[in-house]
Structure 1
Amino acid sequence: MNFFRGRSDVAVEIAETNASRDFQGIKKTEFSNKGIDVTRIDILSDQASEILQKDKGRYITINLKNSFEDDSVFENAVETVASEISSVIKDLIGKDDFSAIIVGLGNIDLTSDAIGPDTIKGILVTKHIRENLPQVYDSMRFNSVTAISPGVLGQTGIESSVIVKAVCGEVKPDIVILIDSLASHYPEKLCGTVQISDTGISPGSGVGNSREKLNFSTIGVPVMTIGVPTVVDTVTLTGNVIYQILEKLRDGTDKSELSIYDNLSSAWNESTADILKRKISETSLDFIVTPKDIDCLVKKVSHLLSISLNKALHNNISQEDINALLN
């Protein structure tokens, strides 16, 4: 068993690592839409919220496996993400005609943190069209959409929450949609899943640098969050390496390998893992790690998210119309 429970913002991963614990108030639903796997985690009780360290609410994880290798899979992934976004919006505000602010959280100059700002580049904003060209706005069946990328505290000297609250006070949207980068337990899932939730987020939580929460309580507007895991910490990575080595040794046929497995597995328990985690955190090896091709992955995922959001926000507008309006 992998006892290294490192940092993760993905609810389904946190639920999996706590599956052996005795508590109530969590519901897991799995299904497939056009070949795209979807998992919903509903955190229903205060006990479950405390154990999982996640706010009560719904967390939807969409698997993007093969989405960037096959055009038809990509289209199905877009449709699935758009459908889940639409569903959460309807649950939160209960209407089809609405105004929204899309907030791309993160540092655009740091590739692994640029999911939010990169996605914003492809969003079809329409508030100005409604105000200046109302006939065009009505004929296209738009919703009123505004998009901002507030940067990070080190760039602006202002908390993202302060900027978002100020803009909301001026624009008065029906819903705020936050887009951010997350941390994962699994290196293979980096830029490979999307998490959608009807709760807020603490900017910077993925790298252990949480700022003020952005949620209904702090903003005063319903909040939806879209996150993509882009980083894994050293503790988690070390645990995965040890676990995979143990599996390889266990499945081997060489007697010396099996002997090594017996010796290592007998010492590999939760107490040992806790000691190793503590020792790693005390060294200069406490890194945040991201894939070597993260620049390419972020561009692909951001493109998928922007298309999905445009479809969900603007009554399933065609990609041709989106391209014509953006270019």
Structure 2
Amino acid sequence: MNDFLNYFSLNVDLAVEARDIVRGKSNIEVSGVEEEVENLENIDITTITIMNEEAASVMGKPMGTYVTIESPPLKINNPYVKEEIITAMSKSLTNMVPNIAPDSTILLVGLGNWHATPDALGPKFIEYSPITRHYHQYAPQALVEGMRPSCGIAPGVLGVTGLETFEVIKGIVEKVNPAMIVVVDALAAQNVDRIGTTIQMSNTGIQPGAGIGNNRHALNQEGLGVPVIAIGCPTIVNAAVIANQAIKNFCLDSGAMYNENQSTEAIKTTLSHFGGSLSVTPKEIDDIVENTSRIMAMGVGHFLFPGISTEQLELYAI
């Protein structure tokens, strides 16, 4: 699988997928990587901690903590599942983030292109997030007691704005001086089952565009000077991955022998008309992005504003 990913220049956004690839058929845990799994009624929570640089090199991920919430009903607007995920997100973020003073400003960043539905998760997240910094400055009496200053931006993409995302965020950080940044972005999966069913949170920051091989400047604490929490959900999968899975399943069901080299060559020929790369998203992606962005916004909202109800938080969405 590693050779296949390298051949098609596919980046692995999800830590749980990186873990599975590294384990391979041996199923031996990677030295320097800790894993904890919690199974709830509607969701499974996997926490992967990469503890040293050697493990980070093997996993292809920066050192830090990665929390993955998996729930097939996530892409369905189920209120019970929604509430369970929001609670799990808030709890996981609280455990992941160092103590932030209750009056400190938090900057929310929604990455992606609002004109392309699969890439609009970040901008939608900002749309549904509670934004309060301007109330603190101009109408503090309109705030519920205990609400910290929060501000948000959807900076767009380089091809639309002509501005590197890092440049935009760095300028805002220097002006606003937030205590922490929460960045939300759409991810690419290496398994079709994860589209719209998985949320990943990490304290390692994010590299915009990595999932489609278009790496930009990393948004992390090293570059921005403040802690960066990255949150994402897979909305696309590469066509090469789907084709490879289909060939493997056919061989398994029919008793034929799977040959990775032959499979790769066949897929390469089929995708040659698209420069060897083609990303696929389901037809219901608009509903997935809408529902997931709302859940993420409230999960982060309950983390930032503990004790305040969802109904109250929704009043401060832009």
Q: TM-score, normalised by structure 1?
A: 0.87
Mapping of residues 227-306 of structure 1, within 5 Å: 227-249=232-254, 261=255, 264-265=256-257, 268-272=258-262, 275=265, 282-284=272-274, 286-306=277-297
Equivalence for 1:254: none
> Aligned residue for 1:41?
48
| Structure 1 position 104 matched with structure 2 position 110 | yes
Following superposition, the deviation at residue 97 of structure 1 comes to 4.6
> CA deviation digits over 1:54-87, x for unaligned, max 9?
1111111101321325321221112112222232
Alignment check: 8 A CA contact 2:128 2:314 kept: no
AA of the residue aligned to 1:37: D
Match of 2:66 in 1: 59
What residue in structure 1 maps to residue 94 of structure 2?
86
Q: 1:326, CA displacement in angstroms?
A: 4.0
- Tell me how far 1:321 sits from its aligned partner: 1.3
SS at match of 1:147: strand
Paired residues, number: 309
What's the counterpart of residue 218 of structure 1? 223
Letter in 2 for 1:47: E
1:125 has 2:131 as partner: yes
Q: Do residues 310 (structure 1) and 301 (structure 2) align? A: yes
Counterpart of 1:36, as a letter, is I
Q: Which runs of 4+ in 1 moved over 6 A?
A: none
Contiguous gaps of at least 5 residues in structure 1: 250-260
Q: Which of 15, 18, 23 is the equivalent residue of 1:19?
A: 23
Aligned to 1:188: 193
TM-superposed deviation, 1:130: 1.3
3-state DSSP class of the match of 2:155?
Answer: coil
Q: C-alpha separation between the residues in 1 aligned to 2:270 and 2:13? A: 20
| Separation of aligned partners in 1, 2:72 and 2:154 | 28
**In 2, Cα distance between equivalents of 1:32 and 1:140:** 34
Equivalences for 1:133-144 in 2 at 5 Å?
Answer: 133-137=139-143, 139-144=144-149
Task: Please list the CA deviations of residues 230-272 of structure 1 after superposition, one character each: whole Å capped at 9, or x if unmatched.
Answer: 11112211111112222322xxxxxxxxxxx2xx31xx24554
Check whether the contact 2:111–2:183 (CA below 8 A) recurs between aligned residues: yes
**CA drift at 1:7:** 3.6
In structure 2, the partner of 1:71 is 79
Name the aligned partner's letter for residue 120 of structure 2: A
- Please report how far the alpha carbon of residue 315 of structure 1 lies from its aligned counterpart in structure 2 after TM superposition: 1.4
CA 1:145–1:65 in 2, change beyond 3 Å: closer, same or farther? same
Query: What SS does structure 1 have at the residue aligned with 2:218?
Result: coil
CA contact (8 A) 1:7 1:236 kept: no
Q: Deviations over 1:252-308 (max 9, x none)?
A: xxxxxxxxx2xx31xx24554555566566553520111111111111111111121
Alignment CA distance shift 1:221-1:281 (3 Å): farther
1:181, 1:316 → 2: CA distance? 29
* Alpha carbons 1:182, 1:227 under 8 Å: kept: yes
Q: Quick one: structure 1 residues 319 and 41, their matched pair in 2 at CA, closer, same or farther if it must change by over 3 Å? A: same
Amino acid at match of 2:234: P
Give the alignment partner of residue 31 of structure 1, picking from 28, 32, 38.
38
Q: Could you tell me the percent identity over the aligned residues?
A: 29
Q: Deviations over 1:184-238 (max 9, x none)?
A: 0111210110000001111111211111111011111110000111111122111
Match of 1:208 among 210, 213, 217: 213
The answer to whether the 8 A contact 2:77-2:291 is kept is: no
Does the aligned pair in 2 maintain the 1:81–1:308 contact within 8 Å? yes
Structure with larger Rg: 1
Q: Call closer, same or farther: CA 1:326–1:221 in 2, change over 3 Å.
A: closer
Using the TM superposition, give the Cα deviation of residue 111 of structure 1 relative to its aligned residue in structure 2, in angstroms: 0.5
Matching residue of 1:163: 168
Q: 1:7-32: CA deviations, max 9, x gaps? A: 42001011101103775211111112
Under a length normalisation based on structure 2, what TM-score does the superposition of the two structures give?
0.89
Does structure 2 conserve the Cα–Cα contact (< 8 Å) formed by 1:33 and 1:80? no
Alignment partner, residue 115 of structure 1: 121
Question: Matched residue of 2:128: which SS?
Answer: coil
C-alpha separation in 2, matches of 1:69 and 1:156: 33
- The question of whether the paired residues in 2 share the 8 Å contact of 1:235 and 1:280 is answered with no
